[in-house]
Amino acid sequence: MRRTRPIIWIALLVLAVGVTTMLAGCGTSGTGTTGTATGTPAAGGLKIALLLPETKTARYETQDRPLFEAKVKELAPDAQILYSNANQDATEQQAQADAALTNGAQVLVLDPVDSASAASIVAKAKAKNVPVISYDRLILNADVDYYVSFDNEKVGTLQGQALLDKITKDGNAGKTIVMINGSPTDNNATLFKKGAHSILDGKVKIGAEYDTPDWSPDKAQTEMDQAITKLGKNGFVAVYCANDGTCGGAIAAMKGAGIDPKKRPSTGQDAELAGIQRVLLGEQFITIYKAIKAEANTAAELAVALAKGSGVPSSMTLSKVNNGKIDVPSVLLNPVVVTKETIKDTVVADGFWTAAQIMNTPELVAAGQLVGLK
Ligand code: GAL
């Protein structure tokens, strides 16, 4: 369950298969955007649209956007980035995509709120000969040009296996757990859930299970309240949560009911700062680290190449993922489990968080020193 540095290179190399596709540059120019536009394109400058899904999960504004923008700026200093965040609203995202196309986006980098309904955005882009990169979440049943993400089913199997190993070690094999999955409109949530069930089914009893609309931590807290009411305070031994946001909600519910979360191992994902701190304190058992920098960099490299009309960077090799319509050329990166013992060798070693950022209270300093954080 542990990895040593450098993680980004291992992540890129693990799941690569080679296909190179030559693409004609496309897109038409226009003015104005719905979100924000960074940089003013010099004559002939590139216009790249980045459309992210939500604001309830920390990664998008704190990791994906700044990392993507920095890489585009490095590769094409005169590029303009048309940025939008849909605030968990699929209809709003449709409008944001329309505006980006109207404003001359030459490529769309789209992380869909709704993996199915985003197919109509792809159709509109295709009609304008604008390529679409499906970012992090796969757009289903559409002529997507590329897909950049992590092996999301593996995220679920890693979460499930870590939790099952812990339950067994605690002498609770076969007992009842609660499952708090992600948003039913997000194809990733479907993959996380599938992976987790492939490990847990038949090994534990699933006393209550929920799909959390919008990945909302508040809704996850309510779901956990309902599970505690249904099963009783001592009616479950562990909680599967699909990400750190929902896990934070579940832990708040447990604390509210007077249940010590340190005695009910739980899972998460994203290695958010709050998630890592809970893992360090033992309130949350694990999280999953995904090297978002590698993901954002890959998407930025592809977007700049497509906007320039040049071929896919030769350094980039792709696998194929079927989205129900086509085999999409894809880069799938490798997720990593993080326990309190491996924080140092994963997120800190990779520069995702510094030890100082994690250990920002005396309690966290004390816990950090026990696992070698300095
Ligand atoms: C998923 C993403 C996760 C996550 C979640 C909530 O699609 O892969 O990292 O946290 O959405 O936004």
Helices 273-281 + 244-256 axis angle, to 10: 50
pLDDT at 37: 61
Distances from the Cα of 121 to the Cα of 47, 138, 198, 303, angstroms: 17, 13, 33, 17
How far away, in angstroms, is 91 Cα from ligand 1 center?
19
> Which atom of ligand 1 is nearest the CA belonging to 152?
8
Ligand 1 neighbour 223 (Cβ under 6 A): no
CA nearest to 60, candidates 84, 90, 93:
84
CA nearest to 156, candidates 185, 180, 175:
180
Distances from the Cα of 35 to the Cα of 75, 103, 266, 319, angstroms: 22, 11, 37, 32
pLDDT at 346: 98
E strand intervals along 170-267: 176-181, 205-211, 238-241
How far away, in angstroms, is 8 Cα from ligand 1 center?
19
* Beta carbons of 208 and 225 less than 8 angstroms apart: no
Ligand 1 neighbour 215 (Cβ under 6 A): yes
Ligand 1 neighbour 111 (Cβ under 6 A): no
Residue type, 335: P
Candidate of 148, 180, 186 to mutate for ligand 1, largest count of ligand atoms within 8 Å of Cβ: 186
How far away, in angstroms, is 171 Cα from ligand 1 center?
32
Q: Which residues contact 260 (CB under 8 A, 6 or more apart)?
A: 254
- H/E stretch holding 52 reads strand 47-52
Ligand 1 neighbour 243 (Cβ under 6 A): yes
How far away, in angstroms, is 152 Cα from ligand 1 center?
10
Residue 40 has which token pair? 């003013």
Candidate of 136, 194, 273 to mutate for ligand 1, largest count of ligand atoms within 8 Å of Cβ: 136
Q: What are the DSSP calls for 47-72, one per residue?
A: EEEEEE--SSSTHIIIIIHHHHHHHH
Name the residue with the closest Cα to ligand 1, atom 9.
Answer: 270
Cβ-based neighbour number of residue 191 at 10 Å: 21
Ligand 1 neighbour 114 (Cβ under 6 A): no
Candidate of 52, 60, 63, 270 to mutate for ligand 1, largest count of ligand atoms within 8 Å of Cβ: 270
pLDDT at 315: 79
Ligand 1 neighbour 188 (Cβ under 6 A): yes
For the chain, residues with pLDDT lower than 70 are 1-44
Ligand 1 neighbour 136 (Cβ under 6 A): yes
pLDDT digits (tens, 9 = 90+) for 167-176: 999 999 999 9
Residue 184 has which token pair? 């039913």
pLDDT at 100: 98
pLDDT at 3: 46
> What is the spatial distance between Cα 304 and Cα 315, in angstroms, rounded to a whole number?
14
> What is the spatial distance between Cα 284 and Cα 148, in angstroms, rounded to a whole number?
29
How far away, in angstroms, is 45 Cα from ligand 1 center?
32
- H/E stretch holding 190 reads helix 187-200
Residue 289 has which token pair? 């680290």
pLDDT at 311: 80
